[in-house]
Amino acid sequence: MLLYHSGRYQRSAVKVFFAQTVFQSPELLLLCMPWLFEDLEELAKQVLSNKFGFFPKDTPIPSLLALFGMGLPLTQGAEWARHRHVVSPAFTMDKLKTMTKKMAACAQSMLEWWQDLATQAEGQREMEVSSQLQELTSDVISHTAFGSSYVEGKEVFQAQKELQTLAAESLLNVNIPGYNRYIPSRRNLHRWKLERRVRNTLMHIIQGRLDSKDSSYANDLLGLMMESRRSNTDQERKRQILSMNEIIDECKTFFFAGQETTSHLLTWTVLLLCTNQEWHERLREEVLRKCGTGITNADMLSKLKLVTMVLLEALRLYGPAVMMQRMAAKDLTLGNLVIPKDTRLAIPIAIIHRNKEVWGANADEFNPLRYKNGISKAVKHPNALLAFSIGPRACIGQNFAMLEAKTVIAMILQRFLLSLSPNYIHAPADMLTLQPQYGLPILLRALKV
């Protein structure tokens, strides 16, 4: 865990003295790296599982606000609870199971195109798949959550990709109060233009729902958020509604998160299958045994134990988030540390996921069998897998992402043999999410289905 603090220090700890002596910075205290502190996973659990608001998220920078809006990832306290109450029904397992057909239909469209290309090549075809998997997950979240399509939401996804780049770059900049928010610099003008493009496209999608003659706004995520705005005299009900601006912010969040997290999970999983051909064959055999060669459904997917294990291992080795940040809301004690108010705590997920003390000597290796008895038995600390976070603010869409990833991987394995292209360059890059910097070119061979 990394702790940043402006102003005052906790000078009594030898480790703080070590950090100050080595780094000689009044703004940065390196307090909890694995070689300095034991029980890093337990400290992370205490921070993320706290239900009393002691470790809120930091105030977001303008570029992150432009990307997410004040949706679930950035709201705090009662506001977060209100948003979560409205959004949660869209992500129950019963609801997710009904979405499987739409997920499979989107995947089938992409895979039929892959098959045409592979057939034209009369053998195997080299293909860069990471960008196509991003389009696929964009189409899935568009259909399942917003009743639209990738084509209708394309402006949003393209603008958010640029906003993501701006946000990642801004994390390295010095934050000058007021400058990054109000001054019409070239960067800010570009960001404001992208924000308007996102908002206009989302309003077009929302207006289409408003103009519908149906008595209900539908039962997807957008419909549930809009349904919450219907007039009701019950005061408790009124406190649970979302304003139109809040609906737009949640749309921003789920357009981005629904596409980004799952697309990179799929990309890294494909890479691991290409570089571990034994597991490629084991998964293909399981898929054909449990699902046959037809369209998968939720009941079939629940039987794919090996696929689940491989996805969990992909999340461990190449989790979407490299680090999470929180802030101490007041002076408090964490483990044997006394932490001053306003200290920023950065939880190094990537380090925790490869900590050999909890994952074993093979922590750097791809070994899905570690999950054969479940996540809790795979590691010495039951909360060491933090890909979707833990505690009350764990990712609301994690079951959606896993179900979609299972669907797509199963359908790919039904139809293709995969191997890694010699043109692949392994360069994982942290651009708010972990992604292959130069894409993922693979060699694709179509099977007879």
Mention every residue, 6+ apart, whose C-beta is less than 8 A from residue 130. Answer: 263, 264, 267, 435, 436, 439, 440
Contact 411, 403 (CB under 8 A): no
Is 395 annotated to bind a ligand? Reply is yes
Counting Cα atoms < 13 Å in the Cβ hemisphere of 183 gives: 9
Q: What is the DSSP string of 334-386?
A: ETTEEE-TT-EEEEEHHHHHT-HHHH-TTTTS--GGGGTT-HHHHSSSTT---
How far apart (Å, rounded) are the C-alpha atoms in residues 5 and 207? 45
Contacts of 144 (CB under 8 A, 6+ apart): 99, 102, 103, 220, 221, 400
Q: DSSP 3-state assignment of 17?
A: helix
First CA to last CA distance, the chain: 49
What DSSP designation does 233 have? S
CA atoms within 13 A on the CB side of 79: 12
Residue 191: CB atoms within 10 Å? 23
Q: Helix 93-120 and helix 130-146: axis angle, to 10°?
A: 140
* Nearest alpha carbon to residue 313 among 356, 273, 278, 285: 273
Rounded Cα distance between 338 and 94, Å, is 44
For the annotated binding site, the residues are 395
For the annotated binding site for heme, the residues are 395
